[in-house]
Every structure is written in structure tokens, then in C-alpha cells.
Amino acid sequence: MKKVAISIGDLNGVGIEIALKAHKYINSICKPLYMIDKSMLELSCTLLKRNIPENFTTFNVAKEFKITPSLVSKSSGEYSYKSFLKAIELAVNKKVDAIVTLPINKEAWHMAGIKYKGHTDVLHDIFNKNAIMMIGCEKLYCAFFTHHVPLSQVSSLIKQEPLTKFLIDFYNCIKEDKIGILALNPHAGDNGVLGDEEKIIQKAIDQANKELNKKVFSNPIVPDIAFIPQNREKYRYFVAMYHDQGLIGVKSLYFDESINVSLNLPIIRTSVDHGSAFDIAYKDKNPSTKSYINAVKKALKLCEV
């Protein structure tokens, strides 16, 4: 069976409970290796009043800290970051076939002095590649030309050459012949009345289609109708110009089952598409494992490509 490194996420959050709850099934489809020290696993299980499952293989990550459910802390942020780095190390050294990440807390990373805003930014830096963030499920996926940047900066980042490269890289990762592209402005700019960015987006689309020698990418779609049923019948993959533009549609339709996939990298990485859920962590609220299980399944599917 394929080996998958599980980055354990923020231990003050819900990730460890999801990993424990889903372990029996996950262990039946792959060999999961959990990036958590045994002592930290024991502390988690004590708080959750759970036994450690059979065949729950752990790896040393960092020094022990006190788990405080629902607390945003420097210690939990640092530990989740080191858990992720350990998973990457195993993937780079071919010790595992893929990485699956459980949720971090971005504020905790900031408190720990970590310069990155999320997993994708770390991967971008380590591999010196433009990691593409794609979120969704088999019914609908959306990739993001920009993601963790303030909305006020998005317009200045819409440039023809980088967007053309992004589109071609995205196509080469998924090999899908029909991809919907969202405009940036309301009404797709109304021919310049509401913004000129669509002219740049159109040029990038035309250039990408020309280089691929076929019309893969749609013309800019008015964002407020991008995910209506008629468009989802035409396209299973979309590209949004910024984070929330695409995620509002994806999460409204498929919140529980959507996942995060990092494309255009030399390793396979998937993730749950939800946060650390501090509001229910360690409270026996029966958190859903659907996104986590889908993330592992997608990682295994990508291993076969």
C-alpha cells in the first residue's frame, strides 16, 4: 500500500480527533504515518478520553508542549509547522508517496514567528515553484490565481504573462479540456465601465489557448453567475482571480466534502478544506471526517497518475 505522511495540524484544534476517528478506515486504504510525537499523541488521547488505535505510526517532530484545547498559541503553531516540515522531508526523501495535511491556525503560526500564511506558501518557497491552490471535490474544483493576499492588492497582481503561465501550468496539471475562467469585476467589467482588468485576463486566455493549440479556457465569466447549474454543466474546473471569489461558490455547494490540493509541485499534497475548529475541539462534538477521507483518497488517486 502507498505510504502517506499525515501532518497533524494544530493540536489545540480538531485535527487530531479527526485523525483518530478516521484511522481505521484510512489504515485500510494506505499506510498512514502521523507526524506527531508519541508523547503528544498520548496527551491528546488522554484529553479526548480515547485509546490509541492499533498501527498508529508516529514520528518525532518537536519538543512536548501543553495542549490547551481551543487556545491560539505560539507553541501549537510552532508544532504544527514542524509537523508539516517533517512530512515534506519524508516526501522529498521518497519515504512516503504523498502528504495530507490537517488544519493549522494561521494566527498561531504568526505568533510563532513563522513568516508563511499557510501550507501553500511554504511549498512555494521550499520547491521554488508556483504552487497552485485548487479547492473543491470531484464535482467541482476551483483554482486561484491569487490566494492569501489582501483584496486591495488583487487588481495590481492581474498581469498577462503570469496569468498566461498560470493557466498553462494548471492545464498541464489536470489535463481538462474545458476550464471556466472568472472575471475580476462585476459584470466582467462592462467593457471597461467597471474596470479594465478583463482586457488583461482576455489576453492571457487567448495566449494560453493559442499555445495549447485549442480552446481550453473560456472567456471571462461574470463572477456572480459562474457557479450556476448551467455553467457547472459545462465546466468541472474553474479558475478564480482571488480566494473568496471561488471559495464562496465551492463551499456553499460542497462544504463538508471539499478538499485542498497543491498542484505544480514535485510532491503530492492534499489537505482538508476546513479550519482547526477551536469551537468544537476536545468537546466530543463528533467532527466530520469527510474532507479528511476525501483528501487521502485524492492523494492516492494522484499517486496513480
pLDDT in tens, 178-194: 999 999 998 887 777 68
Contact 100, 4 (CB under 8 A): yes
Q: What percent of the chain is modeled with pLDDT above 70?
A: 100
pLDDT at 32 over 80: yes
Does residue 240 surpass a pLDDT of 90? yes
Lowest mean pLDDT among 121-130, 193-202, 279-288: 193-202
CA distances from 202 to 100, 259, 282 (A): 35, 29, 49
User: What three-state secondary structure class fits 263?
Assistant: strand
What are the backbone dihedrals phi and psi of residue 95, each rounded to the nearest 5 degrees, phi first?
-85, -20
Say if residue 52's pLDDT is above 90.
Answer: yes
For residue 238, pLDDT beyond 90: yes
> Residue 82 above 90 pLDDT?
yes
Interval 138-157: pLDDT, tens? 999 999 999 888 999 999 99
Alpha carbons 181 and 67: distance in angstroms, whole number:
43
Asked if residues 264 and 173 have their Cβ atoms less than 8 Å apart, the reply is yes
In this structure, are strands 31-35 and 3-7 parallel, antiparallel, or unpaired? parallel
Q: Which helix (DSSP H) or strand (DSSP E) does residue 270 occupy?
A: strand 269-272
Task: List the domains of the chain with CATH numbers.
Answer: 1-129+265-305 (3.40.718.10), 132-264 (3.40.718.10)
Q: pLDDT by residue (tens digit) across 243-284?
A: 999 999 999 999 889 999 999 999 999 999 999 999 999 999
Residue 215 φ/ψ, nearest 5 degrees = -90, 90
- Say how far apart CA 117 and CA 2 lie, in whole Å: 30
Q: What is the pLDDT of residue 271?
A: 98
Is residue 206 over pLDDT 80?
yes
Q: What is the pTM of this model?
A: 0.92
pLDDT at residue 161 tops 80: yes
Q: pLDDT at position 195, please?
A: 82
DSSP state letter for 182: B
**Separation of first and last alpha carbons in the chain:** 16
